[in-house]
Structure 1
C-alpha cells in the first residue's frame, strides 16, 4: 500500500463516521440538490444490501431451521435486491444519480408485484411499513410523477395480493365465505388509503420544498446579479475617483507653476553665472569651483522637477505608515512657492512622531488642496498655519488655519459638496475640498471646519494612527 493509501486507512480508523460521511459526499454529481441527496440515498441502499445479506447469512448458517420450499425463491429475490442496491451505489459513485435511483425503483416495483402475486397480501403484511421508504425515495429524489407511479404499483400489489389470498382460500367445491372476502377487500382498501395519505403528504411536502428551492434559486440569481452590478459600480466609482484625484493633482501643479518657474529661472541664473565665472577664470581651482556650483544648482533643479513628477503621476492608492511631520517638512518648499512672499507660512510639528496610515501622495494632495483654498481666500496676504498634534488617542490631529475672508454659515455647510464653488465661472471646479473629504473618509478619518466672515477659516482633520 502506498503512503496515500496508508494515510487514508489511518483516517478511517481514527474517525470512521466522519470518513464515511466524506466518502458518501464525494460523488461527481453536478446538480446541487442531487449532490445533497446522494449521501442519504447511498446510505439507504447500503443498509438494505447489508441488512438483507446479514439476515440470510443468519438464516442459512446459524438458525438451524430446516429449509422450506418457498425460501429458495425468497433467497433469489433478496439476492436481486442486494445486487440492485449495490449497483445503484456504484452508479451514484460514477455521477449517474438519476439513473441509479430510477433503476432501483423500477426493480423494487417489479419485485413488489412478484412478491404480492406469490405470497399474497397477508404474506406481505410485515413488509408494508418498509414500502413507505420507496414512496419517500421516489417523491423526494426523482419527483412527483415517480411518487404517484410508485403509489400505483403499491395499489396494484395490494390487489394482486388480495386476489392471491382469495384464490388460496378457495375450497375444492365451494366459494370462500363472503365475510372472508369482504374482510380481505376491506383490509386492502385500508392499506391503500393509508398509502394514499402518505403519498399526499409526501407530494405536498415535495411541492412545497421544490417551490421554496425555486424561490431561493431565483433570489440567489437576483442577488448574484445585483452583486455583480454592485461590483461593476464600485469598480467604476474607484476608476472615476482615481481620475478625479489625478485631475486635482494636475490642477495643484498648475497652481504651483509660477513658483516653480521662478525657482527654475533662479537656478538657471545660478548655472549661467557659474558657467561664466568658470569661462573667465584661468586657474584650475576656480574652474572646479564653478563646475561644483553648476552641479549643485542642477541637482536642485532635478529635485524640484522630480518632486512635481512624483506628485502628479497617476498611481494606484498605496496606503503606508509615515510621519506627518516629515511629510509636511518635505512639502514646505512647494507650499512656500504656492503662497509667495505675501503669505507667512508656519508649520508647527508635534513634539513626538505623528505616524499616520495614509497614501503619501494623497496626503500631499490633501494639504495642497486646503492650502490652495487658503491662498485664494487671502488675495492681499496673511498667515497660513499648520499644527500637528500626535496626542494620546488613536488619531493624529492636523489643523490648517488661515487669516482669509472666511465663510458664511451657508457656504460652510456646502464646501464639501462636489462642484460647489463661490468662484466665478472658469476659475474653479469646486472639487478640491470634496476630494479632501473623500480621501479622509476613505482612510477612516474625520474633517471639520470652523469659519466666520472676515475671521479666517480653520480646517481640523483627524487621521488614524499608524502603528
Structure 2
C-alpha cells in the first residue's frame, strides 16, 4: 500500500469519464495516480518495441552482437509495463508500480554493467522519472532504494568504462564522473523527498480536517435526530397532559349523554305508538353519536403520530375545537368565538394546532380560578398578510419577569405536581417550525393575550 494516508473522507473522488479513470483501485490516492501511471506504462510498453522493429527492419544498419542483450532487456521492460497495465485494470495498482520499478532498476544496473555509463547517455535522465514515481506512488523508502540502484548503475558503468582503456575514461575521470552524477541525483532525490513529504503532510492535514468535519457532521445529524425524537416525545407528553385536563369535562359530558340515552330508552319502552318509539330511538342514536364523536376526537388528538403538515381551513378547525375547549375550562369561564365567515387556509399539523390552542387555553384556565372570559379571535389579512389568532383571557395577568421566561422549557409558576413547564415552550417550537411566532401582551390584573401569527397559505406557496 502507499505511504500516503487515506481515509473514508478521501473516498469522494469526483467521477471522471474515460477508460483510464475507470480502474477499480480501492485506495483513493492510488486511484488518482492510476491514469498517469497507465499512460506511462502504455508508452513504455509500446514505444520501445516499435523502435526496435524500425532498427531491425528499416534502419539498414548491420546488427551488432551487443545489441541482443539490449533488445532482450528492452522487450522485457515493455512486457512488464503492459502487464502492469493489466494489473491496474484488475485493481492491483501497487503490484503494478512495484514490479515495474523493480524490473527497471535491474535492467538499468545490467545495462550499465554490460555497456558502461558512456553509452547510456540518453537513458540516464529517465532515472529521474523512476525516482519520482517511486517517491510519489510508493513512498520514501522506495525513493531512496531507487536512488541506490541508480548509484549502483553509475558505479557499475564506471567500472566498465575504466576497463576499456580509453584515454579519456581514466580511473580518475570515471571516478569524478560517478561522484558528480551521484551528487546530482542525490540532490534530485532530496528535492523529491522533501516535496513528497510536504505533499504527504498537507494531505494528512487535509484528511484530518475532513475526518473532523465528517465526525462533526455525524454528531450534528445525531443531535438533530435526537432533538426531533425528544420533540415528538414532548409533543405527545403535552397531548397526554391536555387529555388529562379534559377528562373531567369529558366525564361530565358523558354523564349528560348517558342520561339522555337512558331517558330516551325509558320513554321508548313505555310508548305503544311506533312513531313515537322511533323518535325516541333516533334520540338515543343522536346522543350515542355525540359520545362517539367526543371519544374519537380525544383518540385522534392523543395519538403518538409523526408531524403531518396538511392544508386545512383554520376557521373550521377552531369550530371543531370548541367542544374540547368547553370541556377544558371550569364551569365559571365563558368562552366567546369571533371567527370570520370566509375560510382561512393554512398549512400546519392539525393535531399540533389543537395542542397549541389547548396549551394556551390551559394556562388561561389556571389564571381564572374564580371564573372569567376566554376569547378566541381570528383575523386574516389581505394579499397574503399573516394570519393572526388571538387567545385572550381575563385572568390575573403576567408580570414582566415571568413574561421574559414564559417560553423557557420547564419554567412554571404553578405548584409542584401541577405543571411541567413545557406547554408554552412546545407550542412556541411548533409555531416557529411552521414559520410563525407567538406574541404575548399582558400586565398584572389586566389578563393576557396570546397572539399566534402564522404565514398565510398564499405566502407560504410563493416562498416555496
Using structure 2 for the length normalisation, give the TM-score: 0.89
CA RMSD of aligned residues (A): 2.3
Aligned to 2:435: 444
Aligned to 1:212: 202
Q: 1:277 offset after TM fit, Å?
A: 1.0
Aligned to 1:411: 402
Aligned to 1:425: 416
CA contact (8 A) 1:357 1:463 kept: no
Q: Residue 385 in 1 paired to residue 381 in 2?
A: no
Aligned to 1:434: 425
Instruction: State how far apart, in whole Å, the 1-side matches of 2:293 and 2:388 are.
Output: 30
Q: 1:104 offset after TM fit, Å?
A: 0.6
Q: Residue 299 in 1 paired to residue 289 in 2?
A: yes
Structure 2, unaligned runs of 5 or more: 1-14
Aligned to 1:347: 337
Q: 1:126 offset after TM fit, Å?
A: 1.6
Q: Deviations over 1:25-64 (max 9, x none)?
A: 3233322222222222222111221222333344344444
Matches within 5 A, 1:93-108: 93-108=89-104
Using structure 1 for the length normalisation, give the TM-score: 0.88
Instruction: State how far apart, in whole Å, the 2-side matches of 1:409 and 1:145 are.
Output: 73
CA contact (8 A) 1:353 1:390 kept: no
Q: 1:305 offset after TM fit, Å?
A: 0.4
Instruction: State how far apart, in whole Å, the 2-side matches of 1:130 and 1:164 are.
Output: 21
CA contact (8 A) 1:21 1:39 kept: no
Q: Deviations over 1:195-244 (max 9, x none)?
A: 11121112122222323333344444444444444333333332222222
Instruction: State how far apart, in whole Å, the 1-side matches of 2:410 and 2:58 are.
Output: 94
Instruction: Report SS of the residue matched to 1:458.
Output: strand
Distance 1:394 1:81, change over 3 A: farther
Q: 1:349 offset after TM fit, Å?
A: 3.2
Instruction: State how far apart, in whole Å, the 2-side matches of 1:274 and 1:73 are.
Output: 119
Instruction: State how far apart, in whole Å, the 1-side matches of 2:51 and 2:353 are.
Output: 81
CA contact (8 A) 2:330 2:365 kept: no
Distance 1:330 1:191, change over 3 A: same
Aligned to 1:165: 161
**Which has the larger share of helix?**
1
Instruction: State how far apart, in whole Å, the 1-side matches of 2:113 and 2:339 are.
Output: 100
Aligned to 1:48: 44
Q: Deviations over 1:295-345 (max 9, x none)?
A: 111111001000001101211222222222221121112112223553332
Instruction: Report SS of the residue matched to 1:345.
Output: strand
Q: Residue 91 in 1 paired to residue 82 in 2?
A: no
Instruction: Report SS of the residue matched to 1:169.
Output: coil
CA contact (8 A) 1:45 1:89 kept: yes
CA contact (8 A) 2:330 2:371 kept: no
Bigger RCO (CA 8 Å, 6+ sep): 2
Bigger shift: residues 335-344 or 444-453: 335-344
Instruction: State how far apart, in whole Å, the 2-side matches of 1:425 and 1:303 are.
Output: 34
Aligned to 1:8: none
Instruction: State how far apart, in whole Å, the 1-side matches of 2:418 and 2:235 are.
Output: 18
Instruction: State how far apart, in whole Å, the 2-side matches of 1:405 and 1:135 are.
Output: 87
Aligned to 2:444: 453
Instruction: State how far apart, in whole Å, the 1-side matches of 2:16 and 2:114 are.
Output: 38
Q: 1:450 offset after TM fit, Å?
A: 1.6
Aligned to 1:144: 140
Distance 1:169 1:394, change over 3 A: farther
Matches within 5 A, 1:62-211: 62-170=58-166, 176=167, 180-211=170-201
Matches within 5 A, 1:185-264: 185-264=175-254
Aligned to 2:34: 38
Instruction: Report SS of the residue matched to 2:124.
Output: helix
Instruction: State how far apart, in whole Å, the 1-side matches of 2:36 and 2:284 are.
Output: 86
Q: 1:248 offset after TM fit, Å?
A: 0.9
Aligned to 2:5: none
Q: 1:353 offset after TM fit, Å?
A: 3.7
Aligned residues: 443
Query: Which residue of 385, 393, 413 corresponds with 1:402?
Result: 393
Q: 1:21 offset after TM fit, Å?
A: 5.3
Q: 1:69 offset after TM fit, Å?
A: 4.1
Aligned to 1:365: 355
Instruction: Report SS of the residue matched to 2:46.
Output: helix
Instruction: State how far apart, in whole Å, the 2-side matches of 1:160 and 1:350 are.
Output: 103
Instruction: State how far apart, in whole Å, the 1-side matches of 2:317 and 2:172 are.
Output: 102
Q: 1:460 offset after TM fit, Å?
A: 2.0
Distance 1:58 1:395, change over 3 A: farther
Q: 1:157 offset after TM fit, Å?
A: 0.8
Instruction: State how far apart, in whole Å, the 2-side matches of 1:320 and 1:187 are.
Output: 86
